[in-house]
Amino acid sequence: MTEVSHERGELTARGKSGLGLVETHYVELFQEGLELESGVRFGPITVAYETYGELSPRRDNVILVCHALSGGAHAAGWLPGQKKPGWWDIMIGPGKAFDTNKYFVICSNVLGSCYGTTGPSSLDPKTGKPYGLTFPVVTIRDMVNVQARLLDYLGIARVLCVTGGSMGGMQALQWAVAYPERVRSVVAIATTWRHSAQQIAFNEVARQAIMADPAWNRGDYYGTEGPRMGLAVARMIGHITYLSDVSMERKFGRRLRNRERYGFDFTSIDFEVESYLRYQGQSFVERFDANSLLYLTKALDYFDVTQGTGALTDAFAGSKSLFLFITFSSDWLYPPQQLKEVAQAVRRAGGDATYCEINSDYGHDAFLLEHAAQAPLIASFLQRASEHQFEGDSGEGI
């Protein structure tokens, strides 16, 4: 979902980004191990993270950004030698929605990923080999617990805002429920409070595509090419769900790929949309770990913000945060209705929820593209959250 499409490339041409060069940091946490939702104790855990802007003396200007399935800690600015800025560079930087002239933005790679934080492709210190399937199954709650420890390490007791789209939005919701006293506000975008049967189904097919590839070898493929074909197919499936019918039609329609008539065979490529999908699949293989896709899709499917509380209203009963929910009209992977239900539950629980459905043809990917529509909503919401009296504000900072 952090795929840099052609549009996004145009929107974030180098030079337009105000953050300039940034740096990824690494810290090892949980020497004693983290008790996971599964009951397994796991550690130590290396966490990759980046920060942008400056922490205020009162430490009250922190924004925690959570990434989606294929994102990482590198949310904005440029890393040396890379051709593209971070995955949410259109939203994070001086004068942008998450204004680094005002706020101190933190983004860390989630537990189970392959971009610096410990995951199935990391080396198990006990064996010196990659974990593979011996890596424990992790959940959104586990990811959030790791982020909480990272904030402890950075000396940050409470954040002004936790935000994210898609899987990042689930983490933001989980923060509000698990750490209500640490979250002044939440901006959850293009996400849901739990997966429906159809959402699980798409993930299951992606997992099956990977596991059907003999080169997957039950997750023990490091040092080999790995399940390249299976991972490409899995990504192609995902990619269809990230776009809307309308945006695909506008972008590709039935346009043929470098030809005037059908090829009438199975070796050549007929349609532009086929070429695009294959390209997306292949380029994903170069940058993502197949096992991480298995683990992260499982975390998505397991997520249910009401777990332990029963009803959605009960889940948010303890929260004093301000909420902003943003959905996109053509997002059929995470249809607006699901987040609207959360907004209604927050209000029923006596909370403060703003719900905005942005009219967009970009489908689920809109949260990565529609900065013009999102930015003013978010900027003014953050201003309000900054001024909002929060229970226990005297104890702000650490």
Q: Is 157 in the site for its own copies (CB under 8 A)?
A: no
Q: What is the dihedral of CA 242, 245, 246, 247, to 10 degrees?
A: 30
Site string for its own copies, 272-291 (x = CB under 8 A): -xx--xx--x----------
Which stretch of DSSP H or E encloses residue 280? Answer: helix 272-287
**Cβ 104 to its own copies, closest distance in Å?**
35
Comparing CA positions, the residue from 47, 53, 46, 41 lying closest to residue 67 is 47
Comparing CA positions, the residue from 133, 107, 111, 140 lying closest to residue 33 is 111
Task: Considering only the stretches 155-163, 257-265, 322-330, 344-352, report the one whose residues sit in contact with its own copies under the rule CB under 8 A.
Answer: 257-265
Residue 297: which residues within 8 A CB-CB, separation 6 or more?
69, 203, 206, 207
**Cβ 162 to its own copies, closest distance in Å?**
25
| Closer residue to its own copies in complex, CB, 153/262 | 262
Q: Which of 27, 56, 271, 347 touches its own copies by CB under 8 A?
A: 271
Q: Is residue 29 within 8 Å of residue 44, measured between CB atoms? A: yes
Compute how many residues bind its own copies; rule: CB under 8 A: 56
Q: Is 240 in the site for its own copies (CB under 8 A)?
A: yes
Q: Is residue 97 within 8 Å of residue 70, measured between CB atoms? A: no
Q: DSSP assignment of 64-113, as one string?
A: EEE--TT--S--SSB-TT-SS--TTTTTEETTSSEETTT-EEEEEPPTT-
Tell me if residue 364 is catalytic.
Answer: yes
Q: Is residue 149 within 8 Å of residue 174, measured between CB atoms? A: no
Q: Which of 6, 83, 126, 254 touches its own copies by CB under 8 A?
A: 254
Residue 234: which residues within 8 A CB-CB, separation 6 or more?
205, 206, 207, 209, 210, 290, 293
Q: What is the C-alpha to C-alpha distance for residues 74 and 345, in angstroms, rounded to an integer? A: 33
Q: What is the C-alpha to C-alpha distance for residues 241 and 223, in angstroms, rounded to an integer? A: 31
| Closer residue to its own copies in complex, CB, 59/207 | 207
| Closer residue to its own copies in complex, CB, 61/122 | 122
Position 224: which residue type?
T
Task: Considering only the stretches 16-24, 72-80, 242-250, 384-392, report the one whose residues sit in contact with its own copies under the rule CB under 8 A.
Answer: 242-250
| Closer residue to its own copies in complex, CB, 25/251 | 251
Q: Is 194 in the site for its own copies (CB under 8 A)?
A: yes
**Cβ 316 to its own copies, closest distance in Å?**
19
How far does Cα 169 stand from its chain's mean position? 7
- Choice among 108, 166, 185, 319 that is catalytic: 166
Contact set for its own copies, span 355-394 (CB under 8 A)? none
Alpha-carbon distances, residue 169 vs 267, 306, 374 (angstroms): 41, 15, 14
Task: Considering only the stretches 11-19, 47-55, 202-210, 378-386, report the one whose residues sit in contact with its own copies under the rule CB under 8 A.
Answer: 202-210
3-class DSSP string for 200-231: HHHHHHHHHHHHCCHHHHHHCCCCCCCCHHHH
**Cβ 230 to its own copies, closest distance in Å?**
6
Q: Is 233 in the site for its own copies (CB under 8 A)?
A: yes
Q: Which of 16, 95, 152, 198 touches its own copies by CB under 8 A?
A: 198
- Choice among 142, 289, 304, 331 that is catalytic: 331
Q: What is the C-alpha to C-alpha distance for residues 293 and 297, in angstroms, rounded to an integer? A: 6
**Cβ 248 to its own copies, closest distance in Å?**
4
Q: Which of 86, 219, 336, 351 touches its own copies by CB under 8 A?
A: 219
Tell me if residue 331 is catalytic.
Answer: yes
Comparing CA positions, the residue from 244, 202, 239 lying closest to residue 330 is 244
Six token digits for residue 80: 């040396």
Q: Is 34 in the site for its own copies (CB under 8 A)?
A: no
Task: Considering only the stretches 101-109, 123-131, 271-279, 376-384, report the one whose residues sit in contact with its own copies under the rule CB under 8 A.
Answer: 271-279
Q: Which of 16, 23, 28, 40 touches its own copies by CB under 8 A?
A: 40
Residues near its own copies, by CB under 8 A? 38, 40, 133, 136-137, 194-198, 200-202, 204-205, 207-209, 211-214, 219, 229-230, 232-233, 236-237, 240, 243, 245, 248-249, 251-254, 262, 264-266, 270-271, 273-274, 277-278, 281, 294, 298, 301-302, 304, 332, 335
Active-site positions read 166, 331, 364
